Amino acid sequence: MLDHRTLHRSGSLLILLVILGNLLLIGSTNLISIYLALQMQTLCMFILVAYNKNSLLSAEAGLKYFVLGALSSGLFLFGCALIYGSTGELELQFIRIGIISYGALAGKCLITI
C-alpha cells in the first residue's frame, strides 16, 4: 500500500515534470521539440487530473482531458505536417522566412494555433 507521504512525493514529482515541460517549451526552436515538450507537459497533467483514485469525477475528468489532449495533439501534428510539406523546414526561424516569402503559407500555419 502507498502511504500519504509516497502519494505526496509522486504528486510533487509530477508538478515538477510539468514545470520542466514548460521550460523545455520556452526553449524550443523547432516543431519536434515543441511537440515533445507539450506531450511531456500534458501526460503529467493527465495523471494529475485523475490523481484522486477515490473519486469517480476525477477519473471522468482525466478521461475527458485525455480525449481532448489526443485530439489537439493530432491537430497540431497535422498542422506541422502541412508546414513541413510547404517549407521543408522544422526550425522556426526558417519557417518564418518561408512564411514571409510565400504568402499562401500563412493560412496553413493558422491550423497549428
The 10s digit of each residue's pLDDT in 26-77 is 999 999 999 999 999 999 999 999 888 888 998 899 999 999 999 999 999 9
- And the C-alpha cell for 4? 500519504
Residue 13, domain extent? 4-111
| Beta strand extents in the chain (DSSP E only) | none
Cα torsion 16, 22, 25, 27: sign:
negative
SS3 content of the chain, % helix, strand, coil (to 5): 80, 0, 15
- And the C-alpha cell for 52? 484522486
* pLDDT of residue 25 exceeding 70: yes
Q: What is the pTM of this model?
A: 0.80
Q: Which CATH number do you get for residue 79?
A: 1.10.287
Contact 39, 73 (CB under 8 A): yes
Element (H, E) at 39: helix 31-49
